[in-house]
Amino acid sequence: MKLYNYFRSSASFRVRIALNLKGLAYDYEPIHLVKGVHRQDAFAAVSADGLVPVLEVDGVRLSQSMAIIEYLDETRLEPRLLPAEPLARAQVRALAQSIACEIHPLNNLRVLKYLGRELQLGEDARNAWYRHWCRTGLEAFERQLAQLREAGRGGPFCFGDTPTLADCCLVPQIFNARRYEVDLSGLPLTLAACEAALALPAVQQAQPSACPDFEA
């Protein structure tokens, strides 16, 4: 396997966590988004949308982190990142998509650059945008966890006693929230689940600081 990846990309971080949790080895191909490597012709031949991550696996290239992780979960069965039971699987997907579809798209690098370059918003305004949408989304995530706990879906992780797709999404989002100094008070279930995941060696080894292209 080969992972085309940027160390600070939340979506790439998700896939690194999933690969490590499953104990899958891969080659690391850095694609520096800030330097515009993703817009060069060489990467255009790899990625139709010019985004990371891209995973070369089983003779094909897959894009979009959620699709990549679900493919890995369906072809490399253990440990499972999505429950076998349909309702539980839907609940885990709902948690994961609350981050991947509701928080991350509003705060990714392309959006922040557009706010600054085209809309001429200063750094303080862009950071306020980030913090508002991240905090709003995490408050909703906390309420979802609370409802699941009330329904008996407890455990140290987002959903039960083992990490799932939801944890693969949560850890990168909290990492970036802390980078942008988002207010994380009043989110006890969310932060507890994140800390449970961060205690795992597989998650620690997926951290941006562990990537070969890491920049402080």
Which phi and psi angles does 77 have, rounded to 5°? -70, -30
With 90 as the cut, is the pLDDT of residue 54 above it? yes
pLDDT score for 46: 94
pLDDT score for 154: 84
With 90 as the cut, is the pLDDT of residue 34 above it? no
Question: 86-202 domain in CATH 1.20.1050.10?
Answer: yes
Enumerate the CATH 1.20.1050.10 domain ranges in the chain, comma separated: 86-202
pLDDT score for 64: 97
Q: How many angstroms separate the CA atoms of 200 and 203, rounded? A: 5
Q: What is the mean pLDDT of residues 169-189?
A: 98
Mean pLDDT estimate for the chain: 96
Q: How many angstroms separate the CA atoms of 69 and 173, rounded? A: 16
Written out in words, the top-level CATH class of the domain with range 2-79+205-210 is alpha beta
pLDDT score for 181: 97
Reported as a pLDDT band with limits 50, 70 and 90, residue 101 is: very high
pTM, to two decimals: 0.95
pLDDT score for 96: 98
Enumerate the CATH 3.40.30.10 domain ranges in the chain, comma separated: 2-79+205-210
Which of 33-47, 59-73, 187-201 shows the lowest mean pLDDT across its residues? 33-47
SS3 195: helix
With 90 as the cut, is the pLDDT of residue 196 above it? yes
Q: Which helix (H) or strand (E) holds 188?
A: helix 188-198
pLDDT score for 153: 92
